[in-house]
Homo-oligomer: A and B are copies of this chain.
């Protein structure tokens, strides 16, 4: 018996987008849906009560982080991720692949990630390093990586990633993949993609060998292939033919490539199952992802930028520390229904950030998650009401990147 059920309610005319209902063992997700990231079994600075009040439908934990701390065995002993963090709704975990490659391999080499545009790319030095380190760290069977907490060595195989995700026990889990940078050569992309496909098959076989898990947890296969059309379509073809409950679209995109890559992929993937665009969540990207056929999105941006005082508005992002807000006793947006906008002024929020009070990050995160969640809800509504295009144009006319 499948762990999830996916029912398309309405399709977007002339595009691949759709509004749907995804039923999981912990309740339904109305899609398109934005899923906040709860890296270490909490969405940073927020209680689950605050998440519920925002209207969050599901939370995504990071397998890499949870495996290292507190450990998947502890979460299993707690009764799974839902019980451990006391989140009643649907949960997901990624495969750990992205973090293993971006955090684990470069650990201790003084390399960190940078934000380029809106997507995370590795520094060129990290890329060089990875090319060397990868030779010894990645083998046919899996990846050796070092903990970003204590430098200890760990080995992830496809089977190990699924075993860890079974222990964590989220409703939707992902196959272990190699997430490549768009700056990699086509030769390397090809090698990595073949590996990702072999690993996807092994994840599926292992998952299906544990029917008590497979009946309660849906496994999504991940399409990779960088910015190359042939590789992307081939990956969608191969992954799409496997018996996954849904699909993830992975990769670090240069902003201008994203829509094209998603379109390539979703034109090939079977359209009866949910598609999750991994790590994407900026407003303009959500429109692109949705009209090109993606149903689910996760991103750390609303909380990460919120903790730095960057706040979404209908006119684009603002920096709360801007002097113009110092004596502004209005809400961020008086029409916004979030707790922050209903109760606090720009002047107060700016004060909290200047005074380095943690509450500033909490209130900014509440607003930012609400903003993105509400935007995706409105996009869904526009699909149902057949006015997606005008909603999109009106929104993007006002919204400055």
Check if A42 sits within 8 Å of B329, measured CB to CB.
Answer: no
Q: How far is the CA of A69 from the CA of B353 in the complex (A)?
A: 11
Closest B residue by C-beta to A360: B42
Check if B358 sits within 8 Å of A78, measured CB to CB.
Answer: no
Check if A355 sits within 8 Å of B44, measured CB to CB.
Answer: no
Q: How far is the CA of A18 from the CA of B70 in the complex (A)?
A: 48
In the complex, chain A residues 162-197 whose Cβ is within 8 Å of any chain B Cβ: none
Contacts A347-B78, A348-B84; A361 near B363 (Cβ below 8 A): no
Partner of A358, one of B44, B326, B363: B44
| Interface residue A375 (Cβ < 8 Å from any Cβ of B) | no
Closest B residue by C-beta to A53: B49
Check if A74 sits within 8 Å of B339, measured CB to CB.
Answer: no
Chain B CB within 10 Å — which of A44, A351, A363 has the most?
A351
* A65 / chain B contacts, CB cutoff of 8 Å: 355
A59 to chain B, nearest CB (A): 13
Q: How far is the CA of A78 from the CA of B355 in the complex (A)?
A: 17
Contacts A47-B362, A327-B74; A40 near B355 (Cβ below 8 A): yes
| Interface residue A46 (Cβ < 8 Å from any Cβ of B) | yes
Partner of A86, one of B42, B343, B357: B343
Q: How far is the CA of A41 from the CA of B352 in the complex (A)?
A: 8
Check if A45 sits within 8 Å of B343, measured CB to CB.
Answer: no
Q: How far is the CA of A142 from the CA of B287 in the complex (A)?
A: 62
Contacts A40-B351, A69-B354; A344 near B86 (Cβ below 8 A): yes
How many residues of A are counted as interface, with CB atoms below 8 angstroms from the partner's CB atoms? 38
| Interface residue A77 (Cβ < 8 Å from any Cβ of B) | yes
Closest B residue by C-beta to A46: B359
Check if A41 sits within 8 Å of B358, measured CB to CB.
Answer: no
Contacts A70-B354, A74-B327, A329-B78; A343 near B44 (Cβ below 8 A): no
Check if A351 sits within 8 Å of B41, measured CB to CB.
Answer: yes
Check if B45 sits within 8 Å of A77, measured CB to CB.
Answer: no
Check if A47 sits within 8 Å of B351, measured CB to CB.
Answer: no
Closest B residue by C-beta to A49: B339
Partner of A45, one of B44, B347, B359: B359
| Interface residue A384 (Cβ < 8 Å from any Cβ of B) | no
| Interface residue A48 (Cβ < 8 Å from any Cβ of B) | yes
* A357 / chain B contacts, CB cutoff of 8 Å: 40, 42, 44
Check if A47 sits within 8 Å of B339, measured CB to CB.
Answer: yes
Check if A351 sits within 8 Å of B69, measured CB to CB.
Answer: yes
Closest B residue by C-beta to A307: B358
| Interface residue A93 (Cβ < 8 Å from any Cβ of B) | no
Check if A86 sits within 8 Å of B354, measured CB to CB.
Answer: no
| Interface residue A345 (Cβ < 8 Å from any Cβ of B) | yes
A362 to chain B, nearest CB (A): 7
Nearest 5 CB-CB pairings of A with B? A70-B351, A40-B355, A42-B359, A86-B343, A45-B358
Listed by A's residue number, 28 A-B pairs whose Cβ atoms lie within 8 Å are: A40-B352, A40-B357, A42-B352, A42-B359, A44-B357, A44-B359, A45-B358, A46-B359, A47-B339, A47-B359, A47-B363, A69-B351, A69-B354, A70-B326, A70-B354, A70-B355, A74-B326, A74-B327, A74-B347, A74-B351, A77-B327, A78-B329, A78-B345, A79-B329, A84-B348, A86-B348, A358-B361, A358-B362
* Contact surface of A with B, Cβ cutoff 8 Å: 40-42, 44-49, 65, 69-70, 74, 77-79, 84-86, 326-327, 329, 339, 343-345, 347-348, 351-352, 354-355, 357-359, 361-363
Additional 6 contacts, C-beta under 8 A, given A69-B354, A69-B355: A70-B351, A74-B326, A74-B327, A74-B351, A84-B345, A358-B362
